[in-house]
Chains A and B, each alone.
Chain A
């Protein structure tokens, strides 16, 4: 009786060890997931500049957030990792939210993978900007990427 009582638990223990060992052997190769290509990094906005003039590289030459009524407002947006299909949009509002302008532009493809692109937006108002506070919100592919506050004063 005693011998039978000890033999059964030992047999069960060995069976369990053997089962676990078989389970490990049947697991998929560890490197199968690593073989999949890494996803491309998403496009992102790295810099938003505002000013009254831009250079040949489309970057702002003299950054400022204060404008005179007759100034041209420039917004330069630096992006990285764009694919040539990404779109930037700017929405300019006046004080209580009155929409002044909304513009969209497809981002130029970088010269090198992971490189940067610069997209400029400009606004002019021949009759002069009303004095007050303006807000520029920049959107990348429908996601808000940042805001800048501008002031027009005499």
Chain B
């Protein structure tokens, strides 16, 4: 059974003792051997291009890169819809 929601943050704290974590690291391929990959992002309610850029790149001012990569489905950068799957170009 999943843990119940925690509506009162000041109430009993949830138990995270069963959290398992891991990590690994690898070098990227050199520039002359590009990795074919396509990152996608599904628009959530309340999203904007600048908000997505802030999340993806850490810089909301890079929204135009996302806009340009998705000109086929975005005509107005101020108008995106929940459920839209956007291509996220490399930073």
Contact = CB atoms under 8 A, between A and B. Distances in A.
Contact of B6 (A64, A123, A130): A130
B76 interface: no
Interface string A57-74: 111111111100110000
B27 A63 contact: no
Interface in A118-149: 118-132, 146, 148
Contacts of A108: 25-27
Contacts of B2: 69-70, 127-129
Most buried by B among A63, A106, A120: A63
20 contacts: A47-B57, A57-B29, A60-B39, A63-B41, A64-B42, A78-B28, A100-B19, A108-B25, A108-B26, A111-B28, A117-B25, A118-B26, A118-B27, A119-B25, A119-B26, A121-B23, A125-B19, A129-B2, A130-B3, A131-B6
Interface SS of chain A: helix, strand, loop or mixed? strand
Given A47-B91, A100-B16, A117-B28, A59 B23 contact: no
For chain A, the bracket of interface size reads 35 or more
A61 B13 CA distance: 32
B23 A122 contact: yes
Contacts of A125: 16, 18-20
Contacts of A99: 16
Contacts of B30: 111-112, 115
Interface residues of B, number: 39
B21 A103 contact: yes
B87 to A, nearest CB: 11
A15 interface: no
B35 interface: yes
B28 A105 contact: no
A61 B10 CA distance: 36
A111 B16 contact: no
Interface in B1-41: 1-6, 9-10, 13-14, 16, 18-31, 35, 37, 39-41
Interface stretch (A2-10, A18-26, A31-39, A90-98): A90-98
Give me the 7 closest cross-chain CB pairs, A-B, nearest first: A128-B2, A105-B23, A119-B25, A108-B25, A131-B5, A130-B14, A69-B2
